[in-house]
Amino acid sequence: MCVSVSASADEMESLAQDVFAQQKQAMIEHQIRARGIADTRVLDALQKVPRHEFIPVPLRHEAYTDRPVAIGSGQTISQPYIVAYMLQAAAVRPSDLVLEIGTGSGYATALLAELAQAVVSIERFPELGRNAAELLARLGYTNIQIEIGDGTLGFPQRAPYDVIFISAAAPHFPPALLQQLAIGGRMIIPVGDATNQELQLITNTPEGNLLRRLEGCRFVPLIGEEGFRTSFD
């Protein structure tokens, strides 16, 4: 009797994983590739990382939908397309050291870890940071360092960074983060207020910072000394 129940549970888990695999493939084809994401390294990373693992269990049926999903502490995991778009725009290389601001669930952290040599990720909420660290370790990532703190100040101990990847909207470019960007480095950041935000890409060149304006977006606020002081109402 016990063997039968165990086998049934295993079969149900296998079926669930098959469903998630199908949903992930559909996400990549219809939400990502069809909307212009052509970077093969980004597409491969999306294929490797199980997004449903980063979603609270009651909401896992939404894991591969084209929308943000709540993850607790008033935060969300961004829609898959916008994460892929930011990764492609940042042009993360295998040799890069990446600073991520806003670990959240750890999903974008995992994608960055697939693309870069190493990732330092800063999370403001201790519970989210701990949960992400435990999950990423369970999934086998060894090139990620998660810190709890004010992301607007960065992590100067390991600067300069080749890529700074910011997953929350700031009212302006945090000066501390600009100072931690390597020559040739790229910083991608949503800039704006609660209702009007735009993704912007800054490249640090010997002649100064080059700004490229990308598409509109909607993110939670970047709270901190060089960001917003309070959450959006």
Tens-place pLDDT, residues 187-204: 999 999 988 999 999 999
Active-site pick, 6, 8, 78, 121: 78
- 203-214 confidence digits (pLDDT tens): 999 999 999 999
Q: Is the pLDDT of residue 6 over 70?
A: no
Alpha carbon of 167 to those of 62, 140, 192: distances in Å? Answer: 20, 23, 13
Q: CB–CB of 144/113 below 8 Å?
A: yes
Instruction: For the chain, list the domains and their CATH numbers.
Output: 2-217 (3.40.50.150)
C-alpha closest to that of 219 among 76, 35, 59, 120: 76
- The pLDDT, as a whole number, for residue 3 is 46
pTM (predicted TM-score): 0.92
User: Is the sign of the CA dihedral 201, 203, 204, 206 positive or negative?
Assistant: negative
Better pLDDT: 8 or 154: 154
State yes or no: is 121 an active-site residue: no
pLDDT at 10: 62
> How high is the pLDDT of residue 150?
97
Percent share of the chain, pLDDT over 90: 88
The Cβ of residue 196 has, within 10 Å, a number of other Cβ atoms equal to: 10
pLDDT band at 13 (very low <50, low <70, confident <90, very high): low
Question: Does residue 178 have a pLDDT over 70?
Answer: yes
CA–CA distance, 232 with 195 (Å, rounded to integer)? 9
